[in-house]
Structure 1
């Protein structure tokens, strides 16, 4: 069996300083950028396309923004506005936290001799924006899949499925009847039993004399997917094939959708791609998310043969959920100046979530960041907002001067976010408030742009590498 080098990772360096910037402006804390850089380009630029790290045992695949010019086929729906992205982001974050609260209540009830069943299914997913194109089946059929480190079970829509049961996608539905390597996973198997323990199961169905394992996942935004848990060949690159990949063959969908062919789960539970290939790659993977305006990034399975270009910070699961990856923020700087923020307010940590667009910070860090950023951008008119967002009207400006924002993680790892791609979305500061101090936050995909993020799960650390794509 061969497997790919999959890149969807957050890279943080332990005990060292990593600085990443969109422009070389010496020691100054500001970057002058053209307002054209905020807009999606019409032509795909592959000058920074796939540049995988040395890894003789792995293979990399291209990764693109689904609304960018390098997308395989242009999405017919419009890119998310900031208001829409913020709404989806909050729904997603609230859903994850509701699971945490439900788990805490269940533990308390068990201590009191009570028994309860969590009122949720699956993991929280709503609005992913980055996709990879992989081959499924034999012969391989291209599938455009959303990336998500906040999900585990991967799935695609399968034929036969009519328009009332499945949403319309741009590519033909995957037809398992045309693949020589497709096989439904039988009920009673260890793989199917794992689905039950992870709350993804949906009973058993009979197909002739064959008992098939059913799956179901319900996401934070209301999307529900159900079907048959199955085994298939997954092609990541020519000659790089995962022979026994477990995924959901979806026959019933409901709720909002992204019109992709399916989803690729990169979380930490047994159903995810990294865990399924952990015998070969130790569960390690990485990715680099390109700017929305142009270019391609990459996704890879396996750690690089030389990780000297990375800085690492400790990474742990969130509570008892193997799905989520958690890191600790310790400080923030704006325009080269460190903000005065008590470290205790960061104790909740940040969930690294490439399926979430916007980053969420506890109230004190968010208010300090927002205030400092607004002061540094005082030359540009703010757009009035009932939500208290920080959005600007750049009409009439050919260039704007944007302050650098740097995040510092446990171990002294400081990362300069890309300017403007890692800071601004639709002219708005791509941060929001997660809740009270000590509340868990989220590191969204805007802040990850142009960084190579390396998830060294076995080593319990997250790595960052500058200018990854």
Structure 2
């Protein structure tokens, strides 16, 4: 596997010097991934706006767009934390699906028999996977770069019956949409916080992860009606914790564990792996739990933040709400107090550079600077696990600090995909822990 990287000159342990010019020219290769163990499958993963993206958008997402979409997604997730107690009962607001308004990373998979290549966005904040299916005209489906998946040409495709146990589970998980085709087929519906939605038929087919790795009877949505803002991808791959997700569906094969490494925008391929690596000595682990009564989201406890090697003065109680690990959200959302301390310390360390005078705070004008010194930012999690974020790709987005506020202290926060770049994130679901391995892609 080929991994493209930037090269940075490190000044000392607490800061790095970066060049505004690419330090190396990246080439995209046809990445082939072998699977040396039957209990682990690995596929290439790339940034959807990066040089290796198989289906690039013509317009790159700006920080303003990223912030709007990230907040819309965060607001939706936060709404699922709202509980109402009455007569000893707890009621959680019902929503159809999860918010995935700002996904950034894609993988290539094969669907059907013979396998047809699909470029799908991956997301730990969603469960149900789906692709757009033929027939679907321009008013019902958004324009994608690849041809629509045609279920009639797959010898292994089958719609899931409406009276099946799978359909009943779909209904209980809030993804159901009644029955279609005269009441015989199971309908699905997912609405996203950013305004997108997809509806269609819950289906079975073969999913090919690698030439010799095929998941039979994979459950997914065959989408016939889509709406809202979308890029030219073919669909979505759900990595959440509910029964509809890929890790749960393949848990008998791969144990429910999975990992990924998200490359920076300018780098080549990262990877998505099902199954835990045989050697985890390079990882540092922190406890991982579920979010309230929601099985979709993975939660860890943040205990501290440092900038330039100096620990910020943030009371631990600020982080009591936990942090959702969300590769489908761009920015990291911190409780108000934590964000205020981080912003203040980061601005002080970056005082040599002018702030851009617009409403998105902590954005810089680097025009005329050939080299920029960016302080290191580290996150500390329960168990004393400290993770240094990649500099600058894991700290800055479009020359802006890749953090924002999530709301009152003690409220749930979100760790977005920018902070996760270049780290292998190992979701050991069975062991109740999340692992970090630095410099993995």
TM-score by length of 1: 0.89
Task: Judge conservation of contact 1:124–1:150 (CA < 8 Å) in 2.
Answer: yes
**2 CA distance for matches of 1:287 and 1:404?**
23
Aligned length in residues: 436
Q: CA deviation at 1:110?
A: 5.6
Q: 1:69 aligns with which of 51, 68, 85?
A: 51
Q: CA deviation at 1:124?
A: 1.5
**2 CA distance for matches of 1:397 and 1:384?**
18
- Any gaps of 5 or more consecutive residues in structure 1? 1-20
Aligned to 1:344: 317
Aligned to 1:228: 201
Q: CA deviation at 1:357?
A: 0.3
**2 CA distance for matches of 1:37 and 1:111?**
60
- Structure 1 pair 190–147 and aligned structure 2 pair: CA distance change class (3 A): same
- 5 Å matches for 1:285-304? 285-304=258-277
2:409 paired with 1:437:
yes
Aligned to 1:3: none
Q: 2:171 aligns with which of 169, 185, 196?
A: 196
2:242 paired with 1:269:
yes
Aligned to 1:182: 157
Aligned to 1:139: 114
**2 CA distance for matches of 1:57 and 1:98?**
37
Q: CA deviation at 1:224?
A: 1.1
2:147 paired with 1:172:
yes
2:41 paired with 1:59:
yes
- Which region of structure 1 is more displaced relative to structure 2, 173-182 or 119-128? 119-128
Query: SS at the partner of 1:227?
Result: strand
2:86 paired with 1:109:
yes
Q: Which whole-Å deviations, capped at 9, do the CAs of 1:152-209 have from their partners, x for residues lacking one?
A: 00000000011111111010000000000000000111111100110111111226xx
Aligned to 1:455: 427
**2 CA distance for matches of 1:342 and 1:449?**
27
**2 CA distance for matches of 1:260 and 1:355?**
14
Aligned to 1:8: none
RMSD: 2.1
**1 CA distance for matches of 2:383 and 2:351?**
33
- Which region of structure 1 is more displaced relative to structure 2, 52-61 or 458-467? 52-61
Q: 2:257 aligns with which of 277, 280, 284?
A: 284
Q: CA deviation at 1:118?
A: 3.8
Q: CA deviation at 1:36?
A: 2.8
Aligned to 1:255: 228
Task: Judge conservation of contact 2:286–2:381 (CA < 8 Å) in 1.
Answer: yes
**1 CA distance for matches of 2:331 and 2:316?**
22
- Structure 1 pair 50–446 and aligned structure 2 pair: CA distance change class (3 A): farther
Query: SS at the partner of 2:418?
Result: helix
Instruction: Pick 1 or 2: higher relative contact order, CA cutoff 8 A, min separation 6.
Output: 1
Aligned to 1:124: 99
Task: Judge conservation of contact 1:54–1:306 (CA < 8 Å) in 2.
Answer: no
Aligned to 1:13: none
Q: CA deviation at 1:364?
A: 1.0
Aligned to 1:9: none
Task: Judge conservation of contact 2:123–2:326 (CA < 8 Å) in 1.
Answer: yes
- Structure 1 pair 158–282 and aligned structure 2 pair: CA distance change class (3 A): same
2:214 paired with 1:241:
yes
- Structure 1 pair 175–30 and aligned structure 2 pair: CA distance change class (3 A): same
TM-score by length of 2: 0.94
Q: CA deviation at 1:52?
A: 8.4
Q: CA deviation at 1:80?
A: 1.1
Aligned to 2:126: 151
Aligned to 1:380: 353
